[in-house]
Amino acid sequence: MPKRKDFLALVLIVLPWTLLITFWHQRAGNPLLPVLKVNRTGASKSHQRSFRLHESCIIKNKHITEVTRIKYVHSHSPPWSDALPTLHVITPTYSRPVQKAELTRLTNTLLHVPKLHWLVVEDAAQRTAMVSRLLENTGMNYTHLNVETPPNLKVLKKPRNARIPRGTMQRNLALRWLRENINSRSGHKGVVYFADDDNTYSLELFEEMRWTLKASVWPVAFVGGLRYESPKINSQGKVFGWRTVFDPHRPFAIDMAGFAVNLQLILSKPQAYFKLKGVKGGYQESSLLQDLVTLSDLEPKASNCTKVLVWHTRTERPLLVNEGKKGFTNASVEV
Amino acid sequence: MRMRLKLKTVFVMYFMVSLLGLIYALMQLGQRCDCRDHDMSKDQQISHLQTELRKLQEHVKTSELKKTDVPRIYVITPTYARLVQKAELTRLSHTFLHVPQLHWIVVEDSPHPTSLVTDFLAASGLTYTHLHKLTPKDRKLQEGDPSWLKPRGAEQRNEGLRWLREMGAAAEGKEAAALEEAVVYFADDDNTYSLQLFEEMRYTYRVSVWPVGLVGGMKFERPVVEDGKVVRFHTGWRPNRPFPIDMAGFAVSLRSVMTNPEARFDGDAQMGFLESSFLQHLVTMDDLEPKADLCTKVLVWHTRTEKPKMKREDALQKQGLGSDPDVEV
């Protein structure tokens, strides 16, 4: 009998202490204490304590917001909370005198577009300070990548199909980034668009492409030696051909700026990339699209392809004749 | 027996102490339930906060745009019909939409307003005035003329100035007070402007100046500033002009424009002297106000857009198969 009593006593002693230790452990492991309700009755001491906790709460929340932002800027998926599909705009860019100007005015356009994620891919061995600073100052959702096209493949002396069309490796890198950073099962709705840094885009265009189910198409001005090129639409509202003069029999006789693809389609076909070599002039777009969609899948936008909402403008190369051999102007001033 | 008593006491004491301790801890953790709820919605909280942040930024932006207590900027843009006109005006309008208190004066080189520009301006969302003034034939650049042959846009800019002077003279009360502080800038439709530029020029007393990128055959041209004053101009072409500065490199106060009614652009001026023909009526080099960090930052670029190649279009036109002219480009 004494043994039983002792045993009972032991249990009754140990039990509350184990419970206590467990609770304290849990509390220690939980740094985020919620905001206390104002009407809580309690000792004045605990009330003061709760006020302090409230402050640390806010600070910690701010911290979390900031951390998320930084993480996002350095290539992590942005948070999805809105119903609006995200526009992933891929812009390859390379260093030349007008680069900063081009990116500046493109930024001024893109800043008007909601729920846009800008992927800027530099054709450079390293991300340049100029582009980094420019992107940071925009306040936009962006991802800054870089990949250098091997110089021997850029050289004009090589025959056409040995050269890689400009921007190909950069666009492919952006596609790879999307595939590696966005989970196709996360239910994320998005559309991918390739926007070169010297074209001109109307704001209407972005809202047209936002609701792309598979791939959408529209006219583009100043390509193919015409006022505009456009898909041919039949009475059922389906694409059946291409209104172009230059090789209208290409599988997709359309400019890079003339189509957008649903993100899920990109993610579900991970082998689809722009072909690097052996691509005839004008077939670059087809090299990607033929792995993704057929002609009948295409959705015509811009009022059944009757309005021009994007212009393939090209900026003149400035004649820096007065710079001379040594450079007349101060090299430290960024242009 | 002693042992038992001791044990009993110890046990009772122990039990009371632990009970009190437990009660104390439970009081501290009284809100554990709420904690758990908050844990699960941490992500929601973050998204919610970010949305709130964005809403606030939007609010700040729109309230900045609605700001009426900053000096107004009148931007005069001469424009003429060519293939890239709509594209140029489109991307220019995207820049202007970000600038608070901006009034765009678009002057077409045309005998009457065109529907392209009329419709475009109406849909732009900007505050604007649509004018037109045809350049006399002898002053107009002909097809095939190099762009530097004759100065362009003089008549249109003068028309803009005329409208401003007329409007300024008729203004009363609050409007007149607002015009006292206003600034005038000449923005060609193919250049590229950063948003910061407009904030630099907003507070101009007479004439303010800054560097311009990609002009005069150089990476940039700029006024050289010493002790806060412009002492000379850094340019690679004809530095002996009174004001060797590009149209995009200066802004003038509306007050100066009003008090110097004879100041206008001389359409017959030699190439490169167009700016000087206007500025010499208003100011001397001494009085220029240097902006953009004492003229060390490039905030505007003199970009030029290539003329699109239309050889296939031309060939089709000859066959009568040109692209649908009803589709506006």
Tell me: the pLDDT tens digits for A248-257?
A: 899 999 999 9
Instruction: Please report the pLDDT score of residue B39 as a whole number.
Output: 54
Measured in degrees and rounded to the nearest 5, phi and psi for residue B207 equal -135, 125
- Integer Cα distance of B195 and B58 in angstroms: 17
**Taking the model in full, what pTM does it have?**
0.76
CB distance A328–B312 less than 8 Å?
no
Instruction: Please report the pLDDT score of residue A156 as a whole number.
Output: 58
Torsion of CA A68, A71, A75, A79, to 10 degrees: -10
- Integer Cα distance of A40 and A37 in angstroms: 6
The pLDDT-based confidence of A56 (bands split at 50, 70, 90) is very low
Instruction: Please report the pLDDT score of residue A14 as a whole number.
Output: 80
The pLDDT-based confidence of A35 (bands split at 50, 70, 90) is very low
Could you tell me which residues are beta bridge partners of residue A92? Answer: A121
Tell me: the pLDDT tens digits for A64-87?
A: 333 333 222 222 223 334 678 999
Chain A, nearest residue to B233 by Cα: A329
- Integer Cα distance of A166 and A93 in angstroms: 9
Annotated binding residue B113:
no
CB distance B21–A335 less than 8 Å?
no
Residues of chain B contacting A109 with CB distance shorter than 8 Å: 91, 94
Annotated binding residue B119:
no
Torsion of CA A16, A20, A22, A26, to 10 degrees: 160
Residues of A annotated catalytic, as ranges: 285
Residues of chain A contacting B218 with CB distance shorter than 8 Å: 320, 322-323, 328-329
Could you tell me which residues are beta bridge partners of residue A193? Answer: A89, A260
Instruction: Please report the pLDDT score of residue B54 as a whole number.
Output: 63
CA A270-A121-A223 angle, to 5 degrees, is 85
Tell me: the pLDDT tens digits for B120-143?
A: 999 999 999 999 999 988 777 776
Tell me: the pLDDT tens digits for A136-188?
A: 999 999 999 999 998 877 655 555 555 678 899 999 999 999 999 999 888 88
- Mean pLDDT of the residues in chain B: 86
* Structure-block tokens of residue B152: 């362009």
The pLDDT-based confidence of A6 (bands split at 50, 70, 90) is confident
Instruction: Please report the pLDDT score of residue B50 as a whole number.
Output: 62
* DSSP assigned state of A83: S
Measured in degrees and rounded to the nearest 5, phi and psi for residue A143 equal -135, 130
Instruction: Please report the pLDDT score of residue A322 as a whole number.
Output: 75
CB distance B218–A323 less than 8 Å?
yes
Ramachandran bin of A13, using left for φ above 0, alpha for ψ from -120 to 50, beta for the remaining angles:
alpha
pLDDT mean over A222-244: 92
Measured in degrees and rounded to the nearest 5, phi and psi for residue B127 equal -80, 125
The pLDDT-based confidence of A320 (bands split at 50, 70, 90) is confident
How many CB atoms sit inside 10 A of residue A190's CB? Answer: 21
Instruction: Please report the pLDDT score of residue A63 as a whole number.
Output: 35
- Integer Cα distance of A21 and B185 in angstroms: 73
Residues of chain B with pLDDT under 70: 1-5, 30-43, 45-67, 143, 147-150
Instruction: Please report the pLDDT score of residue A38 as a whole number.
Output: 36
Choose among A46, A139, A225: nearest Cβ to B312. Answer: A225
Tell me: the pLDDT tens digits for A201-217?
A: 999 999 999 999 999 99
- Mean pLDDT of the residues in chain A: 80
Choose among A222, A308, A319: nearest Cβ to B328. Answer: A308
